[in-house]
Structure 1
């Protein structure tokens, strides 16, 4: 999205300016991503495969303001078709981009990115529609919220008359051509949480997702001095107080989600550098913008304190890039997440591959993004990736996306189970009614048991009886089919003598015991 690109633009230009990589650095990076043996690789049963669908500035959906209801719906369905085509299992959809709403909120007005007029009813419930259609395809829906951004312009009078920023002008501050809620005011923090939880509690979402924006800057140009004077007693400086405010937002959001909907995943996608080693010995071997200092976001601390279900750092740099090398940041983040119970997913810069504005030759290499996923295999703490953004997954400039998909998504994958939910009640074991040869392949029919209506059915095919550990990975997983009380699916590659098994999957991605096998005769 333009705002993310702006945040990273300085770093990207600096990298381009210090252009010529030293041979030793290039060799080390090549060794890093070549380390994982493709032949020895076992496709995982569970792997986050997501994409961001951005609404701010009409980046992805809807593509422009004022589309008809049917046009907006058709565009969204096309994004879901793309997700299925790219073999993804999750979408992260921005539904509160600028203190507004893609649902009939009682807290904030309808988003003007829908109709062109803030507060105007679009004629349907976009969030309700999106969640329902996403689940029909067996995809998980993560609702993406920007916590503090109010407007992409600085004139409060242009906000809807009933907007909280008009009713409480002391809540908002201008900076950098935008308006923001003031994170240092307790009433603002509670209001933002209330507005977000309205969607969490009313809709059947799978995840609550924040992006990388908290405080907009570390400078005094963001004038929250009055709030600091009122609430900052006991803090050594403005920066410490600001970090405390963001910490409260993160920790309190966790508490509220756990209390209201414990199976909803709560996570954040921060900018990729917490702190540089030159600033802090615990930091990464980088020289870029630091979220801890610049945005007052202690991303490493959130993971270490267990405040998130997952973290998805935006590692939008190529392998070997100075001053922020993907192959150095991946092991650093893996070390941060290791042993914490916080899942680690990597934000991938699909928008840079093949972009003419990117001068580095690495971004002209169709295999660069695939190399990122290969490098990830050497770090078991990483359980998947999220791609930014949907337009770029569709454009597939220079074939970089299809290369990564063909190299790494050869088998279907379930989304990961949150460690805190892994011990919950698993779905009942389904019944495999039959697996019969038909003209188009082998038709498999499975039926749920008990009161379960599985979210998905995972279908496995083996050349003979399944080994005891045959369901622990995806080597024999041939399909993940959206759930219902029963499912019928045809395997075009099935043949006589194959053995089929079916596993039920619930919304938390927990799996049942496999059904009895059925041999095709």
Structure 2
């Protein structure tokens, strides 16, 4: 049973102090599983790893996050049951443990969405054999891979131009979406390596180039994969969201033509096209830059969004690796909120949980209340009917209980509970959200007692985040004498 401590004083304090927090906003984090970077601790039992992940999710729930990007595929190894690729060595394989299934279940229990994060083209580090001595000593990769693997600077990459690569990635996505109740699939490294001038795909280009120039052909290879992936996902479960984390600099901008390598020009990642073509639902650009390298590029993403949801990724880790001051991150959070961008994501969760330079304290001030997720209106825009027959009562244990009937037993809903001192409940007022993302039609919590009362109401949201009208409200007096 979920316990929520409601204090009247906090309720009114939040109305006065945090009115700028929107009721609808993506609040996401990346949980890195490869190398056990965020999770799990290696060498521990399955039960210990489960408890470790639950503790992470408990904090995210408490701090009013609503989206988890869970790394389900690293460099050619996976954190789920696959018939295609081997299990990663970074989690305990005992007790038939399936990390992705467990993560999804535990996220949903807490009202969090869980998106399967997939590393796309990079595979594992190459095994090397060495010849010669001294300065002549040379490393040569052991050639034990299919010919659609390419060796670049010590790492194997899938060749984006090969049909075998597209077939493999689409099959992985199909396996995940078919077998797991994921809310989304999320792609990382869906681009050529940064030193693309040396990417060894001359043979592929000669065979499949069809007279195009190299740059357009490479961009087209990734565009084709994105299209195939998107169409495959929607053919299996239309509501599953497709997203990516492209380079934060989409393309060269006139205001900053010399600000480093970009997605479009350098790694052939035409992510703006994916949104314009309707083949993405969300975009999490990696905005791991400071000052003028952040703001114009974020504005460019919004310009190219085609109504899709832009969620800039903030480089919290840079406060550790490059010694950024906290203000770099908080200034970006402020800019996002002031410009009505639809949310933010943080890389990575370990930096948040450690409260690096006080970052979690700052996040807490920006997220004082829960937030709903933006509706995916380009997929479906019809809101469900509101819940029915809301009941509010205090039980023998002193807990306040809310129960209601579902508007349609065939549908898969989440619910948001509102409370208000007045009968007209405003769904756009974040301060009135008691809890959101519920996947059951009941809720219990320990509520403070006093000579006051609230109107309670509930809405239903479908898998596309379309929210119903509020149900008929129920008034409850919090007097100690009320039962």
Structure-1-length-normalised TM-score: 0.79
Contact residue 273 and residue 284 of structure 1 kept, 8 A: no
The residue that corresponds to 2:165 in the other structure is 188
The residue that corresponds to 1:56 in the other structure is 34
Residues in 1 aligned to 2:18 and 2:442: alpha-carbon distance in whole angstroms: 36
1:223: how far off? Answer: 0.9
Contact residue 386 and residue 471 of structure 2 kept, 8 A: no
List aligned pairs for 1:397-412, cutoff 5 A: 397-406=356-365, 408-412=366-370
Is 2:99 the counterpart of 1:123? no
The residue that corresponds to 2:298 in the other structure is 330
User: SS at the partner of 2:90?
Assistant: helix
Residues in 1 aligned to 2:363 and 2:317: alpha-carbon distance in whole angstroms: 14
The residue that corresponds to 2:120 in the other structure is 147
The residue that corresponds to 1:5 in the other structure is none
Q: Deviations over 1:461-496 (max 9, x none)?
A: 1111115xx113423222226221433334448862
Residues in 2 aligned to 1:78 and 1:394: alpha-carbon distance in whole angstroms: 10
The residue that corresponds to 2:392 in the other structure is 434
1:88: how far off? Answer: 0.5
Is 2:217 the counterpart of 1:259? no
Choose from 329, 340, 355 the match for 1:369. Answer: 329
Choose from 271, 275, 289 the match for 1:303. Answer: 275
Choose from 197, 209, 219 the match for 2:186. Answer: 209
List aligned pairs for 1:56-75, cutoff 5 A: 56-64=34-42, 66-75=43-52
Residues in 1 aligned to 2:419 and 2:344: alpha-carbon distance in whole angstroms: 26
Residues in 2 aligned to 1:149 and 1:194: alpha-carbon distance in whole angstroms: 17
Residues in 2 aligned to 1:217 and 1:450: alpha-carbon distance in whole angstroms: 50
User: SS at the partner of 1:113?
Assistant: coil
Residues in 1 aligned to 2:238 and 2:446: alpha-carbon distance in whole angstroms: 35
Is 2:322 the counterpart of 1:344? no
The residue that corresponds to 1:358 in the other structure is 322
Structure 2: gaps of 5 or more residues: 1-15, 130-141, 478-483
Residues in 2 aligned to 1:285 and 1:385: alpha-carbon distance in whole angstroms: 26
The CA RMSD measured in Å over matched residues stands at 2.8
The residue that corresponds to 1:499 in the other structure is 455
Distance 1:221-1:508 versus aligned 2 partners, 3 A rule? same
Choose from 66, 69, 82 the match for 1:89. Answer: 66
Contact residue 154 and residue 179 of structure 1 kept, 8 A: no
Is 2:224 the counterpart of 1:248? yes
Contact residue 392 and residue 400 of structure 2 kept, 8 A: no
List aligned pairs for 1:367-516, cutoff 5 A: 367-380=327-340, 382-406=341-365, 408-424=366-382, 426=384, 428-436=386-394, 443-451=401-409, 455-466=413-424, 470-480=426-436, 482-492=438-448, 496-516=452-472
Q: Which has the higher contact order (CA 8 A, sep 6+)?
A: 2
Is 2:54 the counterpart of 1:98? no
1:316: how far off? Answer: 1.4
Structure-2-length-normalised TM-score: 0.85
Q: Deviations over 1:41-91 (max 9, x none)?
A: 543222111110012222112233x43221221222122112113210110
Distance 1:274-1:92 versus aligned 2 partners, 3 A rule? same
Residues in 2 aligned to 1:191 and 1:52: alpha-carbon distance in whole angstroms: 24
Residues in 1 aligned to 2:344 and 2:275: alpha-carbon distance in whole angstroms: 17
Contact residue 100 and residue 108 of structure 1 kept, 8 A: yes
Contact residue 372 and residue 437 of structure 2 kept, 8 A: no
1:240: how far off? Answer: 1.9
Q: Deviations over 1:114-159 (max 9, x none)?
A: 35xxxx7773222222211211111101000011121033459xxx
Distance 1:379-1:336 versus aligned 2 partners, 3 A rule? farther
Q: Deviations over 1:420-470 (max 9, x none)?
A: 234235254233202559996855444434416764331211111115xx1
Moved more, 187-196 or 384-393: 187-196
Residues in 2 aligned to 1:445 and 1:491: alpha-carbon distance in whole angstroms: 16
User: SS at the partner of 1:458?
Assistant: strand
The residue that corresponds to 1:170 in the other structure is 147
Distance 1:440-1:276 versus aligned 2 partners, 3 A rule? farther
The residue that corresponds to 1:19 in the other structure is none
Contact residue 288 and residue 314 of structure 2 kept, 8 A: yes
User: SS at the partner of 2:79?
Assistant: coil
Distance 1:398-1:286 versus aligned 2 partners, 3 A rule? same
Q: Deviations over 1:238-296 (max 9, x none)?
A: 2221111111111111111111110000011111001222xxx5x86661221112221
The residue that corresponds to 1:294 in the other structure is 266
